[in-house]
């Protein structure tokens, strides 16, 4: 009976892995999430990523030695309240690090004031337990009219991060000039190009190295 159970479990895992590597991104995410939550072990990520479309489209696996080391739960269009839901969803998954990005959808599309972004981030932080946290501050867009608002919101987020002991990553010096996103760093004024993703990956790799010391 035990032998049959083991063989069945191995066969099921092999089938899941086969589907994982042959499927599209959404299905891969669902399979990886299920394996991390229900099986653990080899399938437990070192890093969980939550956030909006910037994080959803970034190739985080380049940070990892194997495909299950990074679990990306970020979703396009997510607000800070929805990102808090992503964190809550991952509560039963063992991971050493949590990478958070977000706030631009609140600011740009929901017209949230900086204080509301601060309050929503504070609520988000209450979902976090037992992980080293890295927060990417909001990057500037191609619209200079948004710059002052982003600066104010980032100041408030940075203050909260210092209070909670979170590491912050600010990409603006690398992807923007005078508060405006560089043309080679954005596809549409908001999202990142591959070049910007590479800068982000390098910054997070450095933050992870410093956090391990």
Q: Shortest CA distance to 95 belongs to which of 107, 87, 85, 105? A: 87
Q: Shortest CA distance to 187 belongs to which of 53, 82, 72, 60? A: 53
Rounded mean pLDDT, 156-171: 98
Q: What is the pLDDT of residue 25?
A: 67
Give 176's strand partners: 181
Q: What is the pLDDT of residues 85-96, one digit of tens each?
A: 999 999 999 899
Rounded mean pLDDT, 180-196: 97
| Segments in the chain forming alpha helices (H) | 2-22, 25-38, 53-57, 80-89, 104-108, 114-125, 147-164, 172-175, 194-212
Confidence label for 40 from pLDDT (cuts 50, 70 and 90): low
What average pLDDT does the chain have?
Answer: 88
Q: Are 176 and 139 in contact (CB under 8 A)?
A: yes
Distance CA 103, CA 93 (A): 24
Q: What is the pLDDT of residue 194?
A: 98
């Amino acid at each position: 009976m035990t032998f049959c159970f083991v063989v069945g479990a191995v066969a099921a895992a092999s089938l899941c892995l086969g589907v994982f590597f042959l499927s599209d991104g959404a299905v891969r995410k669902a399979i990886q999430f299920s394996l991390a939550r229900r099986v653990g072990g080899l399938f437990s990520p070192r890093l969980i990523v939550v956030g909006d479309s910037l994080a959803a489209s970034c190739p985080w696996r380049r940070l990892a030695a194997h495909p299950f080391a990074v679990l990306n739960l970020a979703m396009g269009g997510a607000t800070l309240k929805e990102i808090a839901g992503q964190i809550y969803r991952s509560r039963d998954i063992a991971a050493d690090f949590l990478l958070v990005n977000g706030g631009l959808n609140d600011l740009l599309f929901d017209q949230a004031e900086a204080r509301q972004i601060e309050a929503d981030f504070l609520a988000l932080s209450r979902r976090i337990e037992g992980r080293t946290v890295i927060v990417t501050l909001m990057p500037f867009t191609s619209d200079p009219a948004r710059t002052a608002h982003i600066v104010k919101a980032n100041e408030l987020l940075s203050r909260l991060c210092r209070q909670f002991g979170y590491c912050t990553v600010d990409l603006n010096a690398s992807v923007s000039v005078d508060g405006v996103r560089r043309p080679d760093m954005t596809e549409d004024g908001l999202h990142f190009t591959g070049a910007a993703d590479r800068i982000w990956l390098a910054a997070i790799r450095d933050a992870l190295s410093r956090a391990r010391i």
